[in-house]
Structure 1
């Protein structure tokens, strides 16, 4: 299913999978580390020549005639447009002997895609794709490769490669070990046609291939909000960009009242180009550009080179300055809390880092999280918590709490009372005429501001009513005041970036949202929270937009309806649409890196992709569409993958069918982000707190999932094993799976780097018989209150139920509160052990320094 989905990405050939690496993936200490921040590096340029020689024994799609073949070459790190050979008609053994030239940069992962097509009148048929890591070619030598397309039919594609070091001087780049920043060139200008040319209905189309702006019609009166005649382009300076200008004229040719658009005909008048590298820097210059014998265009243009070192995104894997400042202040409070709650004397530098995680589960998760936090507060341990992180419904609880800058120092009863009012109230007002009018106005305002409005935005407005019954103007960056003194745990909200036609279980990139920054630790790329929703290109802010209200983020964090049909089917039946696998593409390794390139673990294997056919494409596009995902501007767009990115812990490029091994398809090469509920990957935000930079010692995992009490642990364990992240072994008995207890402890006594995990399934275990730890229920009323089922088809706590009876809300809060109180000793023992580990590590480190 995953492979077929990859093949359906529009206009893309499927790239190679990663080379087998030399390190052991299950030993974190053996994995290469990235730099914590960006660094400067100098790398040479290379000239790459690719000669498409011939193909043999090619069978086209049409059974009545031979194939009409051509080859498309795509190298997006060196050319913004693909190249094509000529078409050889009606031949099973086409010969081209055509050579194509590229200038490639030594710091970038350069992956060439060679796609063989059969020419058709309507839509050309893709026969197969070969994806080749050109970094495997030794400079100064020619290499001829014969790619076996179909061994059964002896289909082959023969290509010759030659690489030599360029005479251009090496250039300095910025990299964090995963991403590479090239210098960006910005062209600003104004155009004006001659007076004798203005009397017609002229249409001027301008474009810079590979630029952020794509195509502009500066003389069109429908040119959005831009001033008439002005244009701006941002492009990669390394691509030798050029401005292409095309002049058209629209004529009225007939009168057609039924179809007025048929009245007009567009005539091509001429075109011209301006190499942007020839323009002087920083000064305006007038250019008369001939477009044809009778037409020219006058332009005044100014070139500005954006510095690669003055970026509007933060490249690096370290914590943000805001989070670092918070930690200094929070440690003081944690030290005092441990003294008050556990009678332990410690210094701020020795305090353990504790993270509390809330899983997804809609209103059930939101209500339950209030109860769990109430339990921690009753134990006087809430001030011992460093991080508070959530997925889906837990984020609704968090984002509401943090509207009060002092929430954790107050009793939670008032906040729980407000939540009870919203959960138990009728939701019909969300669909009243007045409210729907408000929603329409909000969405239209977002659209006018340039946002990509979608279903998750509407869902966010529905949630705004569910949680507040009125407009809530709060923004995520407002929560900076809630952590400025270290007075509350640091909030980390979770979302995942997915692909519209790939299951979240197969590919999902964790995106963290904090009061200070939003970003992908996988790529080491972050932007200010205030700039989320704005447009970026090559690390520079292109167009700033106002920060969205937090309700729109809540809709994205808890996008319960963003599942694609395959995921819904799989969860309902346990199988998914697996019969589609018979139609999927065939992917095969064409070489073995372990034999050919055993000294280069960064090199990617060459792969062959055989399309599954048009029937496969139709069905997969339908079942895989994720039309409700939150579509947003990609702030990593225009950045490139570093040549050795496959060696970084966050990537799973060694795994044969993982998208991480396809650099041309990874997020920096995409126009948009598709952010959804983190529950479509792991229904708890473990990946966000397990980053080594946060150095978490203890994790309190509160699982509010509908059944599957240990699934998040199993998925997290797999996630960590693939990336070499320390995580305890998860062993659960069959009896525990069927009847889980209130709390489980998972740890590695021999490895202090492995965090201690306390996992709390959502259960009514001893609560039904005890109103408090050690205090039995006596009256009939007390027994009736504790006698209820959390799961089952008749449960009021089903995931898509957003309205509870008052008694059910109170029960859900109290059972989660009780489960924390009833495991007080287990929690405190974990904190003491983590403190001892911290002290031991500090003492051991100090003795090493003294030696």
Structure 2
């Protein structure tokens, strides 16, 4: 994790008791609790006196506990506990850490729940739990204004707590102000930031002010140090003959609504368990294997698509049709997309069993949408509908932009009416492992920075939305809601998927920098105008240094001309803005040493300006990943997904190898295992339908099958091995690249025959390269077997 985390170290082992019971053999579980590191303080008045409690309800009704270690955030216990467990029941051991308190109730810091099923028999295992709570303590300041008599004129009290989630409140004292509580609300703030409550009062003197407050009679303002206020006790802060102000502070619960950690969520892990059975059966059939594959021999296969508006929308249907005819879809675990391919994916996953059915119905339905007149999308009736929808979205608490209008246009393009489908609805299509798990890719950008200098990969699944670099995820249902310090503060309605489709394919997010890079091979000239000038400066040697300490930097702001030029060439027409679920979280002081953070660390601010990273922003600024690299591969390159084979389906315009070369370069710079996909000049000038790339020296690099969008042998064959007749030759002429091509990225309508030809071409290119696909799958299976032979212990789940 990139954020502050806690760790527990323990040794655990299970031992055969030798007393086998026919229906429920028993084992002796031994747990030696060693130590914990970097525990937070439960309160500001004393250091932690922590103990650890162990509870295994399937083995004992007793809660066991260690001794309390006084005044230590790194307690060492070295205590051993034993449990008699049954192997045929679900045994989940709970380890909870508490701070002992002689005056009040002990503080419960956090609990780890560990399934012991993965422990090997008769072998001791060192377990290290990174418990991630949790950033810093969040507190709540409640205030209440009580009126004493009716007011003749309206007056306002203004409340502010800088750095809090709410920021600012106002309370009106008007003619309806009566003796009952007229105004009450709350601020959520970081406990240890020494926050203050600032109150702007009506121009009337106060008769009473509580001790820790500073009252400025001339300005009519009141300021209170919140840390000086008593906890869990309602007090009167100030009053006069018209009203009184009461406040109360409390600690908030430490349960986070943001999941911190780089592991896959439990729902995806459950999906993988179910999908693995389907994949194993399909691979056995497709590869003609004589025996079932063992778990460690089953490769993770992914379909990775590249966007391109309606061209990619249409072509993906053809590719999937070909993969289905070869029974390859059932061999795959993931399907990723961005831009136009997300339109196809969103349509497919409305059907919970789409991959088990013939795709002809879906293809024909989309054909009707692609060939219909689009002029009605800008009719008066449609414009009124768009306005109502955007107003409703704004009322729900979301920011709106032309990206949202684009999403509504996509809704019209792909549907016959309003589409209330949401991303979380797609859980129904994967909960039984019946389809590949869909993953939608986007990037988070920053104002006044090009994507060369700042971009962060964001992934969307039916289960979670998260930013890869930080290892921070929220439930898909909660994406777009208001968060603070990892807590869900205000639940907003889940966004309809059409708005996400607008963001995933946000053509309005381009800037002059992107246009320049697209049309020139060298970006150095303009890039130097957009970069911050940051240099290392010397430090005195007498200061102690640690491995994670950063060097001091000198930041020099740009001059007026450079600033103006930078604003022009990096300004985007619009981005999709959603409430930032990372807002307020704190980076751990050794965040740069986190291997997963470092894997995706590629922005100019990561090392030099951590205070300006995403956790400080109120909103995420999301756009089409194609404004960085036209690929949806990033989610598949997470180590935790262990992808072995990638089917790279390319539908981009222009140079077909551009995004592949960019991906190879990016992975090399980031140290991400990826095959060296090098094509000869001859191949670049005359591309084939498919290429297989494999890094024999690095088994962690996935096997890559690259399908450029070309019209090669399809010109002469209707299907593999079946030549076209003279009358059929016209159907083989699919113009993909000329200036007059009907398949331009900006083409929103196809003629029926144009649509059919693109679907058939994409299907044919898959079918005609069945041998290469099977070769890649066979290589992956053999590689998995070899890895098991060399390192058998690495395939144990522990």
Superposed displacement of residue 736, structure 1? 2.3
Matched, 1:365 2:312: yes
Superposed displacement of residue 303, structure 1? 2.3
Matched, 1:247 2:201: yes
Q: 1:551 to 1:216 in 2, by over 3 A?
A: same
Q: Which of 458, 461, 465 is matched with 2:408 structurally?
A: 461
Contact 2:4 2:587 survives alignment (8 Å): no
Q: 1:247 to 1:561 in 2, by over 3 A?
A: same
Superposed displacement of residue 659, structure 1? 2.1
**CA deviation vs aligned residue, 1:653-694 (integer Å, no higher than 9, x gap):** 999972212211111111110011111122111111010000
Name 1:238's counterpart in structure 2: 192
Cα distance in 1 for residues equivalent to 2:790 and 2:155: 77
Contact 1:208 1:241 survives alignment (8 Å): yes
Name 2:586's counterpart in structure 1: 640
Matched, 1:787 2:727: no
Superposed displacement of residue 505, structure 1? 3.0
Contact 1:36 1:318 survives alignment (8 Å): no
Matched, 1:727 2:683: no
Name 1:16's counterpart in structure 2: none
Q: Which of 266, 281, 284 is matched with 1:336 structurally?
A: 281
Unpaired stretches in structure 1, ≥5 consecutive residues? 1-31, 46-105, 108-169, 251-266
Matched, 1:710 2:654: no
Matched, 1:214 2:159: no
Name 1:6's counterpart in structure 2: none
Superposed displacement of residue 173, structure 1? 9.8
Name 1:489's counterpart in structure 2: 436
Name 1:530's counterpart in structure 2: 477
The 5 A counterparts of 1:719-798 are: 719-780=666-727, 782-798=728-744
Cα distance in 2 for residues equivalent to 1:596 and 1:728: 46
Contact 1:337 1:384 survives alignment (8 Å): yes
SS class of match (2:715) = coil
Name 2:213's counterpart in structure 1: none
Q: 1:598 to 1:676 in 2, by over 3 A?
A: farther
Unpaired stretches in structure 2, ≥5 consecutive residues? 9-35, 42-72, 75-106, 112-128, 176-180, 205-216
Name 1:378's counterpart in structure 2: 325
Name 2:489's counterpart in structure 1: 542
Superposed displacement of residue 713, structure 1? 2.2
Name 1:142's counterpart in structure 2: none
Name 1:81's counterpart in structure 2: none
Cα distance in 2 for residues equivalent to 1:343 and 1:756: 20
Q: Which of 199, 203, 219 is matched with 2:156 structurally?
A: 203
Q: 1:597 to 1:382 in 2, by over 3 A?
A: farther
TM-score, structure 2 as length reference? 0.78
Contact 1:697 1:756 survives alignment (8 Å): yes
Cα distance in 1 for residues equivalent to 2:428 and 2:697: 40
Superposed displacement of residue 790, structure 1? 0.6
Q: Which of 218, 227, 238 is matched with 1:277 structurally?
A: 227
SS class of match (2:713) = coil
Name 2:301's counterpart in structure 1: 354
Name 2:120's counterpart in structure 1: none
Q: 1:234 to 1:474 in 2, by over 3 A?
A: same
Matched, 1:813 2:759: yes
Higher relative contact order (CA 8 A, sep 6+): 1
Name 1:802's counterpart in structure 2: 748
Contact 2:427 2:462 survives alignment (8 Å): yes
Matched, 1:660 2:606: yes
Contact 2:483 2:489 survives alignment (8 Å): yes
Cα distance in 2 for residues equivalent to 1:598 and 1:340: 63
The 5 A counterparts of 1:157-172 are: none
Q: Which of 631, 634, 643 is matched with 1:684 structurally?
A: 631
Name 2:50's counterpart in structure 1: none
Matched, 1:325 2:325: no
Superposed displacement of residue 271, structure 1? 1.4
Superposed displacement of residue 552, structure 1? 0.6
Contact 2:650 2:708 survives alignment (8 Å): yes
Contact 2:455 2:603 survives alignment (8 Å): no
Cα distance in 2 for residues equivalent to 1:679 and 1:654: 17
Name 1:20's counterpart in structure 2: none
SS class of match (1:300) = strand
**CA deviation vs aligned residue, 1:275-318 (integer Å, no higher than 9, x gap):** 323444444x131326xxx789622333231233x111111111
Superposed displacement of residue 200, structure 1? 4.4
Superposed displacement of residue 751, structure 1? 2.2
Matched, 1:823 2:769: yes
Contact 2:450 2:530 survives alignment (8 Å): no
Superposed displacement of residue 423, structure 1? 1.0
Contact 1:247 1:268 survives alignment (8 Å): no
**Count of matched residue pairs:** 669
Superposed displacement of residue 43, structure 1? 6.2
Q: 1:720 to 1:178 in 2, by over 3 A?
A: farther
Contact 1:178 1:523 survives alignment (8 Å): no
**CA deviation vs aligned residue, 1:429-463 (integer Å, no higher than 9, x gap):** 21111111111111100111111111111111000
Cα distance in 1 for residues equivalent to 2:794 and 2:156: 73
SS class of match (1:626) = coil
Contact 1:505 1:680 survives alignment (8 Å): no
**CA deviation vs aligned residue, 1:623-680 (integer Å, no higher than 9, x gap):** 3222410011000001011111112234459999722122111111111100111111
Name 1:42's counterpart in structure 2: 38
Contact 1:388 1:489 survives alignment (8 Å): yes
SS class of match (2:172) = coil
Cα distance in 2 for residues equivalent to 1:481 and 1:416: 22
Contact 1:35 1:317 survives alignment (8 Å): no
Q: 1:775 to 1:598 in 2, by over 3 A?
A: farther
Superposed displacement of residue 608, structure 1? 1.4
Contact 2:137 2:191 survives alignment (8 Å): yes
Cα distance in 1 for residues equivalent to 2:563 and 2:382: 40
Name 1:166's counterpart in structure 2: none
Contact 2:303 2:646 survives alignment (8 Å): yes
Name 2:424's counterpart in structure 1: 477
Name 1:253's counterpart in structure 2: none
Superposed displacement of residue 362, structure 1? 0.5
Contact 2:6 2:39 survives alignment (8 Å): no
Superposed displacement of residue 580, structure 1? 7.7
Cα distance in 1 for residues equivalent to 2:795 and 2:756: 55
Cα distance in 1 for residues equivalent to 2:764 and 2:560: 57
Superposed displacement of residue 810, structure 1? 1.0
Cα distance in 1 for residues equivalent to 2:752 and 2:130: 52
SS class of match (1:741) = coil
Query: Comparing 725-734 with 413-422, which one deviates more in the overlay?
Result: 725-734
Superposed displacement of residue 582, structure 1? 5.7
Query: Pairwise CA RMSD of aligned residues?
Result: 3.2
Superposed displacement of residue 336, structure 1? 1.0
Superposed displacement of residue 573, structure 1? 5.6
Q: Which of 644, 647, 652 is matched with 1:700 structurally?
A: 647
SS class of match (1:445) = helix
Contact 1:41 1:173 survives alignment (8 Å): no
Contact 2:332 2:436 survives alignment (8 Å): yes
Cα distance in 2 for residues equivalent to 1:580 and 1:745: 35
